[in-house]
Amino acid sequence: MKPLTDTETTLAELKTQVLAFARERDWEQFHAPKNLSMALAAEAGELMEHFLWADPAASRNIVRDPARRTKIEEELADVVIYALEFANVAGIDVAAVIEAKMAANAKKYPVEKAKGRSEKYTEL
Amino acid sequence: MKPLTDTETTLAELKTQVLAFARERDWEQFHAPKNLSMALAAEAGELMEHFLWADPAASRNIVRDPARRTKIEEELADVVIYALEFANVAGIDVAAVIEAKMAANAKKYPVEKAKGRSEKYTEL
Amino acid sequence: MKPLTDTETTLAELKTQVLAFARERDWEQFHAPKNLSMALAAEAGELMEHFLWADPAASRNIVRDPARRTKIEEELADVVIYALEFANVAGIDVAAVIEAKMAANAKKYPVEKAKGRSEKYTEL
Amino acid sequence: MKPLTDTETTLAELKTQVLAFARERDWEQFHAPKNLSMALAAEAGELMEHFLWADPAASRNIVRDPARRTKIEEELADVVIYALEFANVAGIDVAAVIEAKMAANAKKYPVEKAKGRSEKYTEL
């Protein structure tokens, strides 16, 4: 079987794999949205731990450091797995809600106002 | 333009859109892995807030409640947007690392041992 | 030296100990509010990990389980240590801001409206 | 009544106030450790949001900015309130577990090895 890649894998394909993994183990009973949101936040916390004391610029090197990179990839995988399982359980189309959110963000952050600025839209 | 759907959208297509949004606004300077991991965790926190005091069973209804659902979809979108932008910045193939992580999880949680149990693999 | 207890220890005494620990190690350079807020959130994530798949009622037993309790105490200690160090660095009087926040909460959640209800004040 | 200050307030006094607030509102039913750990992590996420795109050095100014400071104080208050209520519910003596954790940390991070270094103890 060919390994998965972002170029050839749809969101739906990944969601199906994540759901199958849970279903095989009879884990859907545990996968309430509340629990999945906690697991997602906990994994996001583990991802952050790699960067706690580094400056942002230095964090760009940390992700390239082979000794760290594999762990970082695993934490990111965990985050996305729980996000996709949340979408499975809640019946959310991830691509659709991202498209909608980015359209809303484009209004809040028009290019001419937001360019090169990190302020929140309420402060632009 | 046809709206995006999980069935027809690849991870790479979503990643490209997220990157283009940041690039247009000259925001790549802010998108260090450290900062993106914080933003991701903060959004995961906002997603959790919808379920703080509900039992897990009740949280399954909360995601179906139209008054809540739109906000929940937006928080999930934010989470995945930051995860994909992290992947962009770190040069991570999300589908590949999820496939690898799920293969590792399958070893830690073999069906016959993990079926119907929520314990950590170290306690199975 | 007598061990510390909540009954006899002031917030100021704990803050002083936390600060001395950092200072001895020349760690104040790393203890920017940004970094401390990340460390705090990451530790809060670790605390959550003990309860991911349990129902709230069951989580009341988990904290009494001797095998888990020590770890849980350590995670809570880490959370409060980072919160106090944040207060040190930002020059915040914790007791004063808690008193102010509880006074504000009492207005948002008057007893007669909030009694026995878990809704957010905007929904009461 | 004199306002509370860190110098004159013990942990036990603050814990009592936090518990009384919950009890008056019949909220102890919602305050399972699982739920409190989520609320704590969500508030920690809100605290982080003030610093997402700033460099650590700049975050030292953000906490001094009057326009931001009040919000930051409130988020920190929320974090500590939930931590203390967690301690109430779990029957944890916060000062005692912090003292124990700092003693353990002192062994992991002896001054002569850890001075001026931000690496994890496993990498020192």
- Name residue D87's amino acid: A
Q: Do C118 and B56 touch (CB under 8 A)?
A: no
Distance of residue D38 Cα from the nearest chain A Cα, in angstroms: 7
Assess whether pLDDT exceeds 80 at residue D31.
Answer: yes
Per the CB < 8 Å rule, is D24 touching C111?
yes
Chain D environment of C7 (Cβ under 8 Å)? 10-12
Inter-chain CB proximity D52 and B42 less than 8 Å: yes
As a residue count, chain C comes to 124
Reference A75, options A32, A31, A45, A52; nearest CA is A45
CB C53 within 8 A of CB A36: no
CA distance, residue B53 to nearest chain C CA (Å): 6
Q: What is the pLDDT of residue D112?
A: 93
Give the pLDDT score at C44: 98
Are A64 and B103 in contact by the 8 Å Cβ rule? The answer is no
Tokens of B88: 């962009």
What sections of A25-93 are H helices per DSSP?
A: 33-48, 56-62, 66-90
Backbone angles phi, psi at D76, to 5 degrees: -65, -40
pLDDT of res. B122: 86
Size of interface B-C (CB pairs under 8 A): 19
Q: How many CB atoms lie within 10 A of CB A24?
A: 13
Q: Enter the ipTM.
A: 0.97
How would residue D121 be classed by pLDDT, with cut points 50, 70 and 90? confident
The minimal CB distance from B118 to the residues C42, C45, C53 is found for: C53
What is the Cα–Cα distance from B59 to C64, expressed in whole angstroms? 26
Q: Is A40 left (phi over 0), alpha (psi -120 to 50) or beta?
A: alpha
Closest-approach residue (CA) in chain A for D44: A45
Q: Quick: pLDDT tens for A16-58.
A: 999 999 999 999 999 999 999 999 999 999 999 999 999 999 9
Helix, strand or coil for residue C3?
Answer: coil
pLDDT surpasses 80 at A1:
no
The answer to whether B48 contacts D41, with C-beta atoms less than 8 Å apart, is yes
Please give the model's pTM, rounded to 2 decimal places: 0.97
Chain C: closest CA distance from residue B17 (Å): 28
What pLDDT, on the 0 to 100 scale, is given for residue D42?
98
Nearest CA in chain A to C47: A42
Alpha carbon of residue A82 to chain centroid: 8
Mutate to test the interface with B, among C38, C122, C123 (most CBs of B within 10 A): C38
Each residue's pLDDT, cut to its tens digit, for chain B (124 residues) gives 689 999 999 999 999 999 999 999 999 999 999 999 999 999 999 999 999 999 999 999 999 999 899 999 999 999 999 999 999 999 999 999 999 999 999 999 999 999 999 998 888 8
**Mutation site for D-interface testing, chosen from B26, B30, B49, B78 by largest number of D Cβ within 10 Å:** B49
- Cα A94 from chain centroid? 11
Measured in angstroms, the CA of C3 and the nearest CA of chain A are apart by 31
Check C114 against D25: CB less than 8 A apart.
yes
B12: tokens are 């790479």
Backbone angles phi, psi at D91, to 5 degrees: 65, 45
Does an H or E element contain D56, and which? helix D56-62
Residue B53: closest CA among D97, C59, D7, A6: C59
Spatial contact of B42 and B78, defined as CB atoms under 8 Å apart:
no
Q: What is the pLDDT, as a whole number, of residue C123?
A: 85
C contacts of B52 (beta carbons < 8 Å): 118
C68: nearest Cα among C43, C51, C45, C44? C51
The Cβ-side half-sphere exposure at C38, using a 13 Å CA radius, reads: 31
Name the residue of chain D whose CA is nearest to C2's CA.
D96
Q: pLDDT tier at D93 (50, 70, 90 boundaries)?
A: very high
Is the pLDDT score of C1 beyond 80? Answer: no
Question: Using CB atoms, which residue from B52, B53, B55 is nearest to C55?
Answer: B55
Given a cut of 90, whether residue A122 has pLDDT beyond it is: no
How many angstroms separate the CA atoms of B99 and A74, rounded?
A: 10
pLDDT at C2: 81
pLDDT band at C20 (very low <50, low <70, confident <90, very high): very high
List chain C residues with CB under 8 Å of B34: 38
Q: What is the DSSP string of C13-61?
A: HHHHHHHHHHHHTT-TTT--HHHHHHHHHHHHHHHHGGGTTS-HHHHHH
Which residues are CB-contacts of D29 (< 8 A; sequence separation ≥ 6)? Answer: C116
Q: Is A106 exposed, middle or buried (0-12, 13-18, 19+ CB in 10 A)?
A: middle
C48 with A42: Cβ contact below 8 A: yes
Q: Give C33's contacts in chain B (Cβ within 8 Å).
A: none
* Closest of C111, C112, C109 to residue C123, by C-alpha: C109
Query: Taken in order D84, D87, D93, D97, is the CA torsion positive or negative?
Result: negative
User: For residue range A64-103, what is the model confidence (pLDDT) as tens digits?
Assistant: 999 899 999 999 999 999 999 999 999 999 999 999 999 9
Rounded Cα gap, residues B83 and B40, in angstroms: 7
Chains contacting chain D through 3 or more C-beta pairs under 8 A: A, B, C
Instruction: Kindly list the partner chains of chain A, i.e. chains with 3 or more CB atom pairs below 8 Å.
Output: B, C, D
Identify the pLDDT of residue B2: 81
Q: 């934490």: which residue's tokens?
A: A75
Q: How confident is the model at residue A2 (pLDDT cuts 50, 70, 90)?
A: confident
Chain A residues within 8 A of D45 when measuring between CB atoms:
41
B–D interface: beta-carbon pairs under 8 A: 35
Which pLDDT band holds residue C122 (cuts at 50, 70, 90)?
confident
